[in-house]
């Protein structure tokens, strides 16, 4: 394990745990945990409950376009227009920011933010985060771990699907930012959107909003921004790829945080697809 991966683990695992233990050791949190019915459940009951919550959140997330308002579609159209403008500058930004490399890892500073967006490393750390909260009966850490895993799964599903459909050629293979070959499994044609950017922004958004400290928030979002920039510097993505990926990660992370806030404050989630366990299995219900 090289220095960069060691630094990455400290930044994404040890530091958030230290912050959490300091920020949530107050009497108010202890009171909340004593009141929480989760603390009276077994490990398996907590896991089962988290699976059901994750399925419900997934149903709500993937059916959300069915509930978009006219204003929501207007925002989406506006973003599409902005993306078009950015795409027009992609070649120039590649020449200004990119370097002559075909590798994500080049044994320098940019390896650190690149690893922060590595789904394999981050997924393993988030799983460890969840397990730590589960087996130490720390509900805040466990719930945060579940939220992180949810966000990574939701954003990852969208990201992989769009990559396959778009089939955009990566900048290290061409100077033409308009090459979209559609329905490609070859990694050289899976540039849009960036995959590292949503991973970094999901993690930063969930941790920043859960910890709710402005200094921590600035650091986490800033580091996620470095991850996006690293993908352009390392010639793996066009600028428009990382902008789209970053927005996907931020919106997904914010969605997961909002869903948990609704539960913690006793607010009903409203419409969407929900799953309910029963003796005969799972039942799916869509509420309009």
252 pLDDT tier (thresholds 50, 70, 90): very high
How far does CA 277 lie from the centroid of its chain? Answer: 27
pLDDT tens by residue, 64-103: 999 999 999 999 999 999 999 999 999 999 999 999 999 9
Please answer whether residues 227 and 8 qualify as being in contact, where contact means their C-beta atoms are separated by less than 8 angstroms.
no
19 pLDDT tier (thresholds 50, 70, 90): very low
Structure tokens at 183: 């329905």
DSSP state letters, 18-80: HHHHHHT-SHHHHHHHHH-GGGGS-HHHHHHHHHHHHHHHHHHHHTGGGG--HHHHHHHHHHH
> Where along the chain do its domains lie?
3-287
The structure's pTM equals 0.83
């Amino acid at each position: 394990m090289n220095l960069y991966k060691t630094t990455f683990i400290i930044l994404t695992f040890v530091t958030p745990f230290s912050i959490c233990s300091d920020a949530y050791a107050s009497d108010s949190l202890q009171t909340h945990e004593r009141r929480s019915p989760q603390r009276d459940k077994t490990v398996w009951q907590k896991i089962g409950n988290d699976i059901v919550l994750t399925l419900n959140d997934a149903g709500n997330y993937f059916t959300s376009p069915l509930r978009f308002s006219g204003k929501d579609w207007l925002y989406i159209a506006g973003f599409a227009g902005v993306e078009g403008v950015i795409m027009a500058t992609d070649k120039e930004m590649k020449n200004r920011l990119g370097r002559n490399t075909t590798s994500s890892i080049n044994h320098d500073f940019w390896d650190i933010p690149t690893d922060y967006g590595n789904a394999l490393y981050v997924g393993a750390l988030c799983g460890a985060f969840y397990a730590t909260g589960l087996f130490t009966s720390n509900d805040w850490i466990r719930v945060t771990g579940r939220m992180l895993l949810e966000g990574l799964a939701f954003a990852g599903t969208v990201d992989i699907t769009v990559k396959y459909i778009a089939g955009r050629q990566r900048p290290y293979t061409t100077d033409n930012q308009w090459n979209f070959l559609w329905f490609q499994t070859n990694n050289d044609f899976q540039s849009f959107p960036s995959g590292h950017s949503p991973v970094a922004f999901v993690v930063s958004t969930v941790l920043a909003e859960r910890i709710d400290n402005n200094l921590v928030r600035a650091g986490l979002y800033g580091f996620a921004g470095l991850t996006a920039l690293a993908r352009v510097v390392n010639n793996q993505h066009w600028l428009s790829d990382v902008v789209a990926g970053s927005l996907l990660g931020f919106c997904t992370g914010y969605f997961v945080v909002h869903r948990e806030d609704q539960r913690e404050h006793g607010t009903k989630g409203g419409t969407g697809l929900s799953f309910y366990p029963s003796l005969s299995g799972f039942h799916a219900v869509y509420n309009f």
